[in-house]
Structure 1
């Protein structure tokens, strides 16, 4: 009975966190379809419109590590409550912006809120999850995240059509406040009091030993290239390739994105099963190789059928990369450095997300579209191979053993 009650309490914390994640990500999804139109109304160029996305991601990149340090020092709840509040402030400010400069400033604030909440949520998940079910907990939260992102844009479009382009930002502001209140009342602190031996500040040498170790450098490279593939290949090159080579319009491209988006939701659970039963290494290597293969198929064969097949393979790779890398990072860092580890891991992904689209876009213009695809494929495959070799070289049993 005691074991049953413990599991029920664990499940309640997981479901409460997932609902908070759903609210936060649905809120961010609400502004997706209207943000470029809203920014364009200030009379700026397309490049400046793109900055509204860049500054949001840049804020996350800059603040992931500080968020992790805050979690290690002051606890997880400050991020789970403070993150949505910061997001709310940024969204309300964006809705009332009267020029592009103020809009960019408030988008940075909203990005800071995203960095705080998402870092805090991942650390919290690792805290509450039994070691043998960490991948499952992370996958469940990613499912909630994906559903929120999928549903948000539809709501945002309807709100904008009825009440104007600024209205979705105000809606998200309200959702952010509601999420903060919900987290404050339903999510207890999980940072346990430190023992006397843990009170001392971690030495720089201890942190360097982990951060510069082969396994962490390899998983950071894997994460960066996977996010580069999601943002630079799938979100940037794939639509341009479909338009330029296949002469597809928004309808056909959107259908492929819908199919692969739904597919991503259903790749999480096989990836979780494989992580728990086969170990992290096979899943991480598979995700990198599959993503690379998908990019090569898209670049090499210019027919509609193979374009769809390539996107399916690509999604199989990027989708299965969800739970395993974060669970692996949790094993590399001791509990008192868990926030720092997650912050560094998330920053590695955001580096790929920020640099991938412009770098691959530039390569497609200066060389060719297939060259950009193949370059991305080579990088993500190299990352997977490096991870495999690095963990083997370091005799890292964590990476390869099944979870019991």
Structure 2
């Protein structure tokens, strides 16, 4: 679309540094996540307030993603990445303070705001670094690796957080998350290089975002993906487990939630790498993207009828394959279709739409589940990834002619 990519002059250690740093951040984030959906029980707040606390980080990212992408195109990747890691680390210490504060709900809300701001910078820079250091033919593998790394620590953290909170209490779990985030900060400061110097745009302004058809369609697909997985499933599964006997298989609902989500995200991280590599091998993105979105829908369908631990495990495994497998090829498609001087802005728009989906799912699904029941909510949600399939198919098939001219899109 824009000719041959510029020759990469940054060593591959850039990708390794991003992988290691985001792993520790993800581990810390995973530790706290089994606890957050159960804050209603822990600190005595309503489901609506729980939904606000769960979704506010995504809402903040809706505002911060586009400016973060513009900033990357203006000043480079290193400084915004480090700033994002520091903000997320500060947020994890906020969780500990919240447990002792006279107004814990306000503290949790504030820390989620801080986390959202930090993660906007981390994701915008991580994906831009991956695009900068990858060649056209290897972009799927590199994007899949970095996307997998942003969630690779999460499953271990989820399992640890659920079990630690059950045995040792919420505060100990939050303190473990804070320690892991400090490690991520030190790694970022020492090892993250500058990768975007050759592609900076001195004219970039806060309003200069990338809203091309390709970015909006790919971002819209990301909306459906994150609405389903990071929104509806993440926000409601721990409460759904309280309505079944399957939670007794592990250590209560929180422990079971941590194991199931952790397993699902681990599978997703592996499939993100595999999906990106497969799209490179096939020289086609569309079959991988569409197949994984269909698997995601199947996972939600199985979850809607799950009543045993085995069926819950199967549902969450399918969800992991679907959300993970589509991520690498979807980001690679974005890189294929975008001028390198616009990569930060395109990534920001992509993240805005994804976070909008997750925020809507996190915000509304607990209340909707109370009204119509968990199983009905999941049954309705099946349609979301299927709509995303239609969206990406219409776009990619309409671009068939340009794809045949050399782009790894279909």
TM-score (norm 2): 0.80
Residue 230 of structure 1: how far off its partner (Å) = 0.6
Alignment match, 1:105: 110
Partner of 1:249, secondary structure, is helix
Does residue 382 (structure 1) correspond to residue 387 (structure 2)? The answer is yes
Size of the alignment, in residue pairs? 391
State which structure, 1 or 2, has the greater radius of gyration over its C-alpha atoms: 1
Alignment of 1:2-401 (within 5 A): 10-35=11-36, 42-97=43-98, 98=101, 99-100=103-104, 101-153=106-158, 156=161, 165-193=170-198, 199-201=202-204, 211-213=211-213, 215-236=214-235, 244=243, 247-251=245-249, 254=257, 257=261, 259-278=263-282, 279-299=284-304, 309-367=314-372, 369-395=374-400, 397-398=402-403
Check whether the contact 1:232–1:361 (CA below 8 A) recurs between aligned residues.
no
Give the C-alpha shift of residue 229 in structure 1. Answer: 1.5
> Hey, what's the Cα distance between the residues in 1 that align with 2:199 and 2:30?
38
Structure number with higher relative contact order (C-alpha < 8 Å, ≥ 6 residues apart): 2
Matches of 1:157 and 1:312, distance apart in 2: 18
Q: Displacement, 1:223?
A: 0.7
Cα separation, 1, equivalents of 2:306 and 2:50: 33
Q: CA offsets per residue over residues 271-314 of structure 1, 9 Å max, x none?
A: 12321123111111112222223333444687877665554444
RMSD of the TM alignment (CA)? Answer: 3.7
Q: How far apart in 2 are the matches of 1:176 and 1:265? A: 20
Tell me if the contact between 2:336 and 2:408 (Cα under 8 Å) persists in the aligned partners: no
Q: List gaps (5 residues or longer) in structure 2.
A: 1-6, 251-255
Q: Distance in 1 between matches of 2:205 and 2:55?
A: 33
State the alpha-carbon separation in 1 of the partners of residues 88 and 68 from structure 2: 14
Q: 1: distance between equivalents of 2:205 and 2:86?
A: 30
How big is each residue's C-alpha offset from its partner over 1:11-44, in whole Å with a ceiling of 9 and x where there is no partner?
3222122111112212222333455677866554
Instruction: Report the CA distance shift for 1:359/1:130 in structure 2 as closer, same or farther (over 3 A).
Output: same
